[in-house]
Amino acid sequence: MEQPICPYCENKAEGVDGSAIYPHRKDLYSKWFYRCTPCDAYVGCHPNTKNPLGRLANAELRKFKSLAHRAFDPLWKKGGMKRSEAYKALATEMNIPKKECHIGMFDVGQCKRVIAICLSGNLKMETIV
């Protein structure tokens, strides 16, 4: 895996273990992250890999990704949709290809759209038919 590029300063991110990001969370020490220290941006990796879960995120983007997940995840966790169906419906509502529709890859503006779509109640099963 090639090191990701920081979207804020365009430098290569460094690979670090979880102790560098979450020194107070020993349970995360064995996980792999990429970070850009000057930009305070980081991203975790898929379990047991060095493949990023999304894009590097600074504090503002991390906040909006968290809010987007808080609005979106109940739709597939409690709303009767499978996760893939929920992302397909979201892609349709956002008018983007399904393969590009993942909160981990979104910027702040896209996260705000996810929140608005989910809170409006427009994201339903019939969206994916």
For 69, the token pair is 């997940």
How confident is the model over 16-54, as pLDDT tens digits? 999 999 999 999 999 999 999 999 999 999 999 999 999
Continuous segment of H or E residues that includes residue 15: strand 14-17
Burial class (CB in 10 A: 0-12, 13-18, 19+), 118: buried
The amino acid that residue 99 corresponds to is K
pLDDT value at residue 125: 54
* Residues 30 and 90 reside in one and the same domain: no
Residues 99-113 as b or e (16 or more Cβ within 10 Å = b): eebebeebeeebbeb
Same domain, 16 and 72: no
Give the pLDDT of residue 68: 97
| pLDDT at 81 (0 to 100) | 83
Domain limits for position 79: 59-128
The answer to whether residues 51 and 94 belong to one domain is no
pLDDT in tens, 68-93: 999 999 988 987 789 999 999 999 99
Q: Can you give the pLDDT at residue 112?
A: 98
Q: Residues 33, 66: one domain?
A: no
The dihedral built from the CA positions of residue 43, 75, 115 and 94, taken in this order, carries a sign that is positive
- Report how many domains make up the chain: 2
From CA 112, how far away is CA 115, in angstroms rounded? 5
Contact between 50 and 15 (Cβ < 8 Å)? yes
- CB neighbour class for 22 (10 Å; exposed up to 12, middle 13-18, buried from 19): middle
